[in-house]
Amino acid sequence: MLPENLRLLLEKQKYRIVGNHSAVKICTWTKKSIKGEGVCYKEKFYGIKSHRCLQMTPAVAWCPNKCVFCWRATDRTLGPEIKESLDTPEDILEGSIAAQRNLLTGLKGFEGTDIKKWKEAQDPNQIAISLTGEPTAYPLISDFIDLCNRRKMTTFLVTNGQFPERLENIAKPYQLYLSLDAPTKEMYRKIDMPMFKDYWERFTKTVDIMSSFNSRKTVRLTLVKGINMSHIKDYAKMIEKINPNFVEVKAYMHVGFSKYRLPIEAMPLHDEVKEFSEKLKTELSYKIKDESRPSRVVLLER
């Protein structure tokens, strides 16, 4: 399904294509963990093991939004959702694990590699369903999560909330992330650049669904300096409605194709992220639990 030029571009960026529409890429922190150079903030915050994390997407080139801060080539988006040639959840999961093992091969002989961790990494038990594209653009996302759950894998699903109907009865991920990039309709249009005309109705319906969602929930704010670091009371109102366990306030990172859309000055410093978090905290029934300066992220906990 992927045009050859897009496939080549993704492979050049170290993605491993799985089947018709999925992809795997080794996270920088997975490599660092195996080489003893540090761990991801998710290990610090939530206790998952970076070296056993599988970072993947079932929709590598499909997304209903073209966010200005996204690291992917949004002009190569193939559509808001996948409508044909669907791979089965079983094929995607098996193919993703095989791709992960293949990508890890070169680390085995690397000086400083922790061989025990490298061997454990061959059988990931944590799956971050995000990477790129929109995971819920894959119509069988619920079946995929159910399969991962039955395999005893911890599942983190990240969504932009544009497919609320797929979240209503979804198999419960261990942790569901909602990207809250803007608390107002106009700001959302400016930063997320949605394809759907009813984008705000879709997003607010997802907010309503998440308010009664009974698994662990995280709201993630990606801060872009000069665009969405305002309207704190509006953010707080929406967060309180969702009632997540956690709120991650994270800086936009000046990487990938976002560098062609935004200046480096749009990337907030960690201290600016922390200052925003302190202001947000005063409007919420949350406390600052932790932070990670290398990743420019602050964690608030209910």
Q: How many CA atoms are closer than 13 Å to the CA of 108, on its beta-carbon side?
A: 10
The token pair that represents 132 in the structure block: 């790129």
Low-confidence stretches of the chain (pLDDT < 50) are: none
Residue 214, pLDDT score: 85
Neighbours of 17 (CB within 10 A): 19
Q: DSSP label at 83?
A: -
The stretches of the chain forming alpha helices (DSSP H) are: 4-12, 28-34, 41-46, 89-104, 115-121, 141-150, 164-167, 185-192, 199-211, 232-242, 270-281
- Starting at the earlier edge strand, list the strands of the sheet with 53-57: 16-18, 22-24, 53-57, 126-129, 154-159, 175-179, 216-223, 246-251, 297-301, 287-292
* Domain extent for 154: 4-301
What is the domain count for the chain? 1
**In Å, how far are 155, 170, 227 from 173, measured between CA atoms?**
5, 8, 31
CA pair distance 18, 99, nearest whole angstrom: 7
| Identity of the amino acid at 172 | K
Q: Could you report the per-residue pLDDT of 18-46, keeping only the tens digit for each? A: 999 999 999 999 999 999 999 998 999 99
Residue 112, pLDDT score: 85
Domain CATH code at residue 159? 3.20.20.70
**Residues written for the chain:** 302
Residue closest to 40 by CA, chosen among 128, 160, 149, 109: 128
Residue 200, pLDDT score: 98
Residue 267, pLDDT score: 97
Residue closest to 179 by CA, chosen among 208, 211, 218: 218
